[in-house]
Structure 1
Amino acid sequence: MNRSRRYSLYRRFLLEPIVLDRQWQEDSFYFHGQKNYLIQQLKSMFGWAGSKYREGILFFEPEMTADSELFPTLASISDLTMLVCGKIRHSLTNSELGIKAELDGSVRITKSEVERLLLKLKDDYGDFWINEYRKMKSSTPLADLVCEHLVEWGFGQWEDHVFFVLNAAGGRWKVQYGSVELDD
């Protein structure tokens, strides 16, 4: 494999939180198939741990730091987005919303289902949200922000104007609010 294709592969894993197997072009997929080698290389170069999943490889910082506790960004919309992903994951295991995973692990949901999730989350965790989100009269603009953030970070995409498809990787994180003790 030539050096430029290998650099392109590494660059994507370093800069994008999620790179699914199906997103690779045919010419670089051959090298991507060597997942154990790639995991070992990024561990030795950057100290990152990698895990193989059916949808691809996910890399993460093995030691909790301030940056890794707030993923994918430090913005509050990231916290809320990951909370929505966690709620969807919880709903899959408890069948409370009737949401089911596809064979590839992805989840098809409507924007109105995202809005309903946000209303429930607001009731449960609204005290932890920033004032702007807490005071929104409707869940529609907040659902738009959440879906936009999911698309921006590769967690999902719009299938059409009705269905949003959350990638299986979006359900890999468990997110919850609560008190955390910080070291001085």
Structure 2
Amino acid sequence: MTTAEQAEVELANRQGLLHPSQRKTVLDGTFWVAAVLAAAGLVTAVVLPVTAIETRFGPGLASAGVVAALGPAIPILALAVWFGIVCLRRLADVRGGRLVAITGWTHDFGTQRPDREYPVVLFTRLSRGLNEQHFLKAGGKQFPLYRSTHLRERIQPERTNTVLVTPRSKILINVLPA
């Protein structure tokens, strides 16, 4: 991203808006997997009982047979609805375009545990392979920074930063110096 594009993104974010180039952050692979699973679940929840009813019981269907045929479809339908809700929340974040700003002094604790709640906290955990995993905690939500190395580089510890998050799906969008 060029300096001019970065300035345009920061200006939109400071106004509380999601820049069009940041939509792919919200509509990422997780969104598309959830959309496919929601669609497949809805199709399966409809097709499974229909095929079970037609093949097992024929035209003279008893009420007990209907319950047995619908049994497997109910959990599948519940999962499909849940995946659909996840997708709708992300779509609402993209369409609404408004961001939640959490501004505060950024404390960098390194590998130590924070002793109390702070507005913005940086910390590092060591995994079993002694790899460092960086996290940002803002507004009571913890965000892993291993996916977004550009955000990890932008966060300036021991100064005031503004963390921008989507309101419904709570996805970390950007970090700006306040």
The answer to whether TM tops 0.5 is no
Structure number with the higher helix fraction is 1
Q: TM-score, normalised by structure 2?
A: 0.26
Q: TM-score, normalised by structure 1?
A: 0.26
Structure number with the higher strand fraction is 2
Larger Rg over CA atoms: 2
